Copies of this chain bind each other. A is one copy, B any other.
Amino acid sequence: MKRTKIRAALEAAGPMDEIVVMGWVRTKRDSKGFSFVELNDGSTLLNIQVVIDHTPEIESVLDRVGTGAAVQISGELVESPGKGQKWEIRGRTIEVFGEADQETFPLQKKRHSDEFLRTIAHLRPRTNKFGAMFRIRSELAQAIHKFFADKGFFYVHTPIVTGSDCEGAGEMFRVTSLEPGADASPDKDFFGKPAQLTVSGQLSAEMFALSLGEVYTFGPTFRAENSNTPRHVAEFWMIEPEMAFADLADDMDLGEEMIKFLITHILDHCPNDVELFAKWVDKGLMLTLENVLQDSFARLPYTEAIDILNKAGKSFEYPVEWGMDLQTEHERFLCEEQFKKPVYVHDYPKSIKPFYMRVNDDGRTVAAMDCLVPRIGELIGGSQREERLDVLLGRMGEMGLSEEDYWWYLDSRRFGSAPHAGFGMGFERMLMLVTGVTNIRDVIPFPRTPNSLEF
């Protein structure tokens, strides 16, 4: 007989004479003459309750069934007299696939710290919290693809191994096929030149936007930053849409629409899993999410943001002056205290932004934007791109970038150049927003951080 997933069993339209479920035992309680088994198969947060009468045969099997064991149970799906569940199973047979030794199995029924669970990242998706997390992670990824596909954006796989450094700013991992300590001259190496792990697919995505119109990437990116903070990992996933024939206002519109779509989608599709986080992880989660959904995001130029900060009468750790990059304390003040909702700050000083952002008519700012969200800080960073070849070349000159290295990028401005804009969103940041989880290590299956490469 075919297995029925527990999610489907719990949503059954009516009783079933014959049902087979398979999963991992969360708890077993023995009573006189029968036992209760709570079974979970990962298809949903919820367990199905199995009541199974004792016979000598059943009892000998139940002896081997403890928390964590993998079992198959057949029986009848019946209305549950208990509270909180519509259906339960009257078990007829139980078979053990794999036992879990109760002395050594690390996930006994009790709360475990996130720190401890990180040391068993291979087992933590069997807990309620991390099962919920990774179901939400999966659904959020589906939602991203759906959002862009519905709008006619094409998904592009930009390269992971790259010879170019998008941000013009270091901290990249090197990739090599040479042994450590071997003669490391690039011409002996696999690609015949230095190779790195990408920090952004933007430059490649621009080539596709200027061909297919509207595109997005969704793939892993890397930073070799030696920071051990709750917000940094060496490997994370990023979404980068890029639109031809679009300006900075279009870019902000797209970002706002996307964020709202994703939150709505997760609330609709993962109610049980989100509820777990709202109950146990962040009591304010629902308010935060409603706050993001209910109103238009504030939009203000950087220059105005500096004014507001200067007039706020706050003593910031980093003094506020025009030309500085906004620090987390400033960003949090703007969205949490001043506007009390998500805020786009746009038109940043040219001097603190990369070469590819479009220079505004004032000559000293660029058409850049950051989307700041309560509790998370920067969720999105984007810009209209510089489509004018002469201005772009001027900027590259100022910043000491070699035209030769970017010959192909510059070609897109030589041949049929057009206004275009895009942004990047860290996938894990978005997950932290929708779950309230504050450590990025707890939203990634197997996080990569300095001195940590287990699993």
Interface stretch (choices A76-84, A122-130, A283-291)? A122-130
Residues of B within 8 A of A69 (CB): 416
Contact assessment for B212 and A408 in the assembled complex, using a CB-CB cutoff below 8 Å? no
How does the 8 Å CB contact mask read for A343-354 relative to B, with 1 for contact and 0 for none? 000000000000
Report, nearest first, the 10 A-B pairs whose CB atoms are least far apart.
A98-B417, A180-B184, A42-B212, A125-B211, A191-B453, A70-B418, A138-B154, A192-B451, A70-B416, A97-B418
Q: Which listed residue, B99, B122, B125, touches A212 by the CB 8 Å rule?
A: B125
Instruction: Report the minimum CB–CB distance from A16 to chain B (whole Å).
Output: 18
Q: Which listed residue, B3, B97, B418, B444, touches A22 by the CB 8 Å rule?
A: B418
Contact assessment for B454 and A157 in the assembled complex, using a CB-CB cutoff below 8 Å? no
Instruction: Report the minimum CB–CB distance from A185 to chain B (whole Å).
Output: 8
Query: Residue A322 at the B interface, CB < 8 A?
Result: no
Contact assessment for A156 and B175 in the assembled complex, using a CB-CB cutoff below 8 Å? no
Given A207-B122, A415-B100: A445 touches B156 (CB 8 Å cut-off)? yes
CA distance A445 to B181 in the complex (A): 33
Q: Which listed residue, B173, B213, B409, B416, touches A122 by the CB 8 Å rule?
A: B409
Residues of B within 8 A of A210 (CB): 70, 126
> CB-nearest residue of chain B relative to A177?
B224
Contact assessment for B181 and A213 in the assembled complex, using a CB-CB cutoff below 8 Å? no
Residues of B within 8 A of A155 (CB): 137-138, 141-142
Given A122-B411, A159-B235, A446-B204: A43 touches B220 (CB 8 Å cut-off)? no
Contact assessment for A98 and B418 in the assembled complex, using a CB-CB cutoff below 8 Å? yes
Residues of B within 8 A of A168 (CB): none
A-B contacts, 20 listed (Cβ < 8 Å): A22-B244, A22-B245, A22-B418, A25-B416, A68-B415, A97-B416, A97-B417, A98-B413, A123-B411, A141-B155, A157-B444, A159-B448, A161-B222, A163-B453, A175-B197, A176-B176, A180-B194, A191-B448, A208-B445, A408-B455
Contact assessment for B68 and A445 in the assembled complex, using a CB-CB cutoff below 8 Å? no
Contact assessment for A41 and B3 in the assembled complex, using a CB-CB cutoff below 8 Å? no
CA distance A191 to B244 in the complex (A): 39
Contact assessment for A450 and B190 in the assembled complex, using a CB-CB cutoff below 8 Å? yes
Query: Residue A34 at the B interface, CB < 8 A?
Result: no
Contact assessment for A453 and B212 in the assembled complex, using a CB-CB cutoff below 8 Å? no
> CB-nearest residue of chain B relative to A8?
B152
